[in-house]
């Protein structure tokens, strides 16, 4: 699955003290997308305690949190690795105590999966903020998302992105105490390379910056699809799948035979893809006894060597 450029889902900002900020979901998020939310907030306040997209909980990417010293800004990135059910759901950012200025932006990436690298940096009184020393990605095909949070109003002149990166979205406040402006940039690499981003701004501000590199989703191949008769009974109680990823690691899962029989070939493959996404991080062990003598053999054999991207 190829990468798409990050797409803005929604953005929000506030200056009045409260415990929540809601990002209205203005663009439908597709299935299998990766969601990235960056939150920039008054440095004197505590971090978000949770972020939800509808009923789904996002997870903070702890290595990306960076605080500007003194009275400034802290930014942190949160993610939802895999969207199972597409659609529009508002994001609710909750803090454990009331906070003042908060700015947040949410994006999705099609084809993004696990984190390959991350980096962060804080710089005071600069017109050339950067995400730190370059890190080299470990795999080819990555998308890099950088966020720059400035202690300054959105009335400042727009920034210019450094070499390789494209300006994506900008959001912030004007008239707050303090004001915060959040700028996102991105690049897509088709080979291993440096992960670093810079901005050029006309007015020197205190900045925090973070960057992440997402790997392309892996392809899993169905290596085996057979019946399993548990306890030597005469009725199959599982359809067993063995998946293999690009590194040769294998995953296994099962399906109820009645569910298998009720699905078309395309529906079976879609089921495999969904399950593979859920189990992608798990390497299962143990042995099962298979029985391949039933009339389902033909349908099961048709799935062998099929591939799914997760």
Whole-angstrom distance, CA of residue 298 vs CA of residue 310: 25
Say whether pLDDT at 78 is over 70: yes
> pLDDT band at residue 236, thresholds of 50, 70 and 90?
confident
In this prediction, residue 293 carries a pLDDT of 43
Q: Where are the domains of the chain?
A: 7-216, 219-309
In this prediction, residue 281 carries a pLDDT of 37
In this prediction, residue 157 carries a pLDDT of 95
In this prediction, residue 305 carries a pLDDT of 82
The answer to whether 113 and 218 are in contact (CB under 8 A) is yes
Say whether pLDDT at 96 is over 50: yes
In this prediction, residue 295 carries a pLDDT of 57
Q: Which of 119-123, 139-143, 260-264, 284-288 has the least mean pLDDT?
A: 284-288
Say whether pLDDT at 33 is over 90: no
Q: Which residues is 18 bridged to in the sheet? A: 99
How many CA atoms within 13 Å lie on the side-chain side of 212?
A: 25
Say whether pLDDT at 150 is over 90: yes
Whole-angstrom distance, CA of residue 92 vs CA of residue 51: 6
Whole-angstrom distance, CA of residue 149 vs CA of residue 184: 9
The answer to whether 269 and 303 are in contact (CB under 8 A) is yes
In this prediction, residue 288 carries a pLDDT of 28
In this prediction, residue 310 carries a pLDDT of 55
First and final C-alpha spacing in the chain: 8
For residue 140, what are the CA distances in angstroms to 62, 78, 214, 235, 244? Answer: 24, 24, 10, 46, 20
The answer to whether 186 and 146 are in contact (CB under 8 A) is yes
Whole-angstrom distance, CA of residue 61 vs CA of residue 112: 15
Q: Which residues is 239 bridged to in the sheet? A: 227, 255
In this prediction, residue 273 carries a pLDDT of 78
For residue 76, what are the CA distances in angstroms to 87, 102, 176, 308? Answer: 25, 11, 20, 32
Eight-state DSSP code of residue 217:
P
pLDDT in tens, 207-223: 999 999 998 877 788 89
What mean pLDDT comes out for the span 116-122? 89
In this prediction, residue 25 carries a pLDDT of 94
Average pLDDT for the chain: 86
Q: Please give the model's pTM, rounded to 2 decimal places.
A: 0.77
Q: CB-based contacts of 11: which residues, under 8 Å, 6+ apart?
A: 23, 103, 104, 105, 106, 169, 171
pLDDT in tens, 80-89: 888 878 899 9
What mean pLDDT comes out for the span 154-173? 95
Say whether pLDDT at 41 is over 70: yes
In this prediction, residue 309 carries a pLDDT of 67
Whole-angstrom distance, CA of residue 32 vs CA of residue 111: 7
> pLDDT band at residue 234, thresholds of 50, 70 and 90?
low
pLDDT above 70 covers what percent of the chain?
90
């Amino acid at each position: 699955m190829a990468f798409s450029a990050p797409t803005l889902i929604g953005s929000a900002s506030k200056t009045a003290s409260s415990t929540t900020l809601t990002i209205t979901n203005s663009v439908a998020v597709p299935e299998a997308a990766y969601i990235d939310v960056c939150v920039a907030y008054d440095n004197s306040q505590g971090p978000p305690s949770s972020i939800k997209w509808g009923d789904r909980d996002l997870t903070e990417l702890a290595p990306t949190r960076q605080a500007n010293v003194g009275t400034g800004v802290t930014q942190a990135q949160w993610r939802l690795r895999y969207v199972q059910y597409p659609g529009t759901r508002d994001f609710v950012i909750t803090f454990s105590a009331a906070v003042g200025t908060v700015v947040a932006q949410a994006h999705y990436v099609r084809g993004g999966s696990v984190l390959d690298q991350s980096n962060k940096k804080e710089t005071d009184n600069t017109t050339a903020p950067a995400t730190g020393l370059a890190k080299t990605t470990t795999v080819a095909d990555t998308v890099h998302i950088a966020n720059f949070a400035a202690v300054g109003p959105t009335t400042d002149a727009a920034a210019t992105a450094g070499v390789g990166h494209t300006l994506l979205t900008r959001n912030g406040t004007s008239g707050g105490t303090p004001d915060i402006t959040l700028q996102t940039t991105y690049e897509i690499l088709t080979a291993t390379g440096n992960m670093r981003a810079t901005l050029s701004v006309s007015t020197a501000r205190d900045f925090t910056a973070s960057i992440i590199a997402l790997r392309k989703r892996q392809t899993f191949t169905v290596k085996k699809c057979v019946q399993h008769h548990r306890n030597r009974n005469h009725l199959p109680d599982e359809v067993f799948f063995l998946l293999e990823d690009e590194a040769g690691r294998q995953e296994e899962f099962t399906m109820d035979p009645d569910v298998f029989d009720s699905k078309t070939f395309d529906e079976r493959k879609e089921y495999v893809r969904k399950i593979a996404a859920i189990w992608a991080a798990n390497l299962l062990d143990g042995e099962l006894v298979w029985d391949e003598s039933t009339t389902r053999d033909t349908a099961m054999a048709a799935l062998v060597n099929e591939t799914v991207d997760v």
